Amino acid sequence: MDKNCYAIELKGITKRFGPVTANDGIDLGLRRGEILALLGENGSGKTTLMNMLSGIYLPDEGQILADGHTISIRSPKDAYAHGIGMIHQHYKLVDVFTAAENIVLGMEDEKKLDIKKANAKVREICGRYGFDIDPEKKVYDMSVSEKQTVEIVKVLYRGAEILILDEPTAVLTPQETERLFAVLRNMRDDDKAIVMITHKLNEVMAISDKVAVLRKGKYIGTVATAETNPQALTDMMVGRAVTLNIDRPLNQNQTERLRVSGLSCYDHEHVKKLDGVSFTAMGGEILGVAGIAGSGQKELLESIAGLCPIAEGSIRYLAPEGGEDELVGRTPMQIRKKGVSLAFIPEDRLGMGLVGSMGMTGNMMLRSWRRGGGPFVKRKPPRDLANKVLNELEVVTPGIEFPVRKLSGGNVQKVLVGREIASSPTVLMTAYAVRGLDINTSYTIYNLMTEQKMQGTAVIFVGEDLDVLLELCDRILVLCGGRVSGIVDARRATKEEIGLLMTSVGGKEEA
């Protein structure tokens, strides 16, 4: 094969972080006029690899070739010089600037900023590829998908010929995803080389021309999308055949556990984050919560946990043994002292659910440190619990006193879930419980949720992957802009239906 037809070629790229080899001798070629999907589970090294192309990291070993010549990319500026632009998962925009101002920010080639010229050029780029964006709109007025558009235009404005998109669909609704894909196709037809990092198989099948698969930092292979299928790709990704079905038994014995009505709350800047939210959570069911990121999921769970000041509304807890309690206005400690066994697996595992610098024992203690009289902590019960979690959930750690911060994402989550489930909760709330986890650990978590449900726990599962929500939950509550836009039966609803609910309350497009 003629080497010169690669726009960028990677040869034997290796990158290590301490003991972890994130990329191990990876070879990869990108061609112009082609969309390459870079597929792999979380932690398989996709983003690391692309960060070496965009000048964030330097490879420890290996070569990068541009049009057949060896190059060295030491900074994002070098990357732009070679026509490489990356759209990161987390956008880096100045809120109070307009789209065009953000786009020209940091460009040095012009002495004087001519915003009119910039606006015109932005409009020209938008017209060419079919973006829908107003260059004079301020970023704080934008939806997530508009912000993403700004990031993409920013890269094109700088003349990038090779575009890398890191999980671009993670924050988009199905409809917005379709629009993005249309734009990507236009760019491909304009002879750009496009890399899309993803772990969603349906998107790979829908958009890409070729698929390169990474597994645990190793390059597994590249296949033409037309010649493969999701099952084959999954096997490549995971290394063995896995079934993609989640077991969903029905708990016949459901009882009302939480009755939330008219719940509203504001954040620090007095922006309304929850707006009259009402629903009921049943013991013995998994209630999924869907919505675009930032639609009030976090505030909803934190309100129930007593961590978020509530402006209006009530949260009634109906104990399994009878009796009712109001949770609004109580601190987490008061809620626990009331005998409400509430388990909460927050989104920010290390920043909120765990103590990163402590070992498993210290983290188990987080729920029990007050127990027992006297000024001293009792270490034995938490140590026993740590050992139990270690064995039952197969946590991989050098020891139960090893700082959990240094464990891998999956093991961190196992420690957290293990502790929360150990309290035999009557209400179990989870936020993005499988984010960043490999397929195996994800299924462990799904099974634990189902197990809890069958034991009569009311499980509230905030998720981002609609496919998983539809397979795992009994009912799905959809949030949009802090309001409940619908509660659907997960056994009957479709993805499109939920996608529409995610964007369709009160004419608001975005939270």
Partner 1 sequence: MDEKTKTPLLRLAKRSSFPKPAAWAIRVGSILFALLLGCVAILLTGNSPFKAYATMINGALGSKVYLQQTVKKAVPLLGCALAIAPCFKMRFWNIGAEGQITAGALAATFVARTFTGKLPSLPLLLLMAAGAILGGGLWALIPAFFKAKWNTNETLFTLMMNYIIIGVVAWLQAGPWEAQQGRIAQFDASAQLPKVLGVHCGWIIVLVLVLLVHIYMRHTKQGYEIAVIGDSMRTAQYAGMNVGRIMMRTMFLSGAISGLVGFIIAAGANHTLAKEIAGGVGFTSITVAWLSQLNAFAMIAISMMLGILTKGADTLQTAMSVPAAISDIIIGLLLFCMLGCEFFINYRLILRKKTGKGGAAV
* Sites of contact with partner 1 (CB under 8 A): 16-20, 58, 60-61, 66, 69-72, 74, 78, 81-82, 305, 307, 331-333, 336, 344, 346, 348, 350-358, 362, 365-367, 369-370, 375-377
Shortest spacing between CB 377 and partner 1, in angstroms: 5
Between CA 505 and CA 491 the distance in angstroms is 23
Largest CA distance in the chain: 76
Residue 135 near residue 157, CB atoms below 8 Å = no
Closer of 365 and 448 to partner 1 (Cβ): 365
Strands in 272-283's sheet, in edge-to-edge order, are 272-283, 255-266, 312-318, 324-326
Closest of 151, 197, 145 to residue 35, by C-alpha: 197
Closest of 144, 148, 122, 121 to residue 134, by C-alpha: 122
User: Backbone phi, then psi, for 141, in 5-degree steps?
Assistant: -90, 5
Closer of 74 and 128 to partner 1 (Cβ): 74
Closer of 121 and 273 to partner 1 (Cβ): 273
Residue 103 near residue 150, CB atoms below 8 Å = yes
Shortest spacing between CB 66 and partner 1, in angstroms: 7
Shortest spacing between CB 124 and partner 1, in angstroms: 28
Closer of 136 and 326 to partner 1 (Cβ): 326
Residue 473 near residue 271, CB atoms below 8 Å = no
- Mind spelling out the 3-state secondary structure of 97-146? CEHHHHHHCCCCCCCCCCHHHHHHHHHHHHHHHCCCCCCCCEHHHCCHHH
Which residues on adjacent β-strands are paired with residue 324?
Answer: 318
Shortest spacing between CB 378 and partner 1, in angstroms: 9
Closer of 55 and 291 to partner 1 (Cβ): 55
Shortest spacing between CB 317 and partner 1, in angstroms: 16
Closer of 242 and 350 to partner 1 (Cβ): 350
Closer of 140 and 369 to partner 1 (Cβ): 369
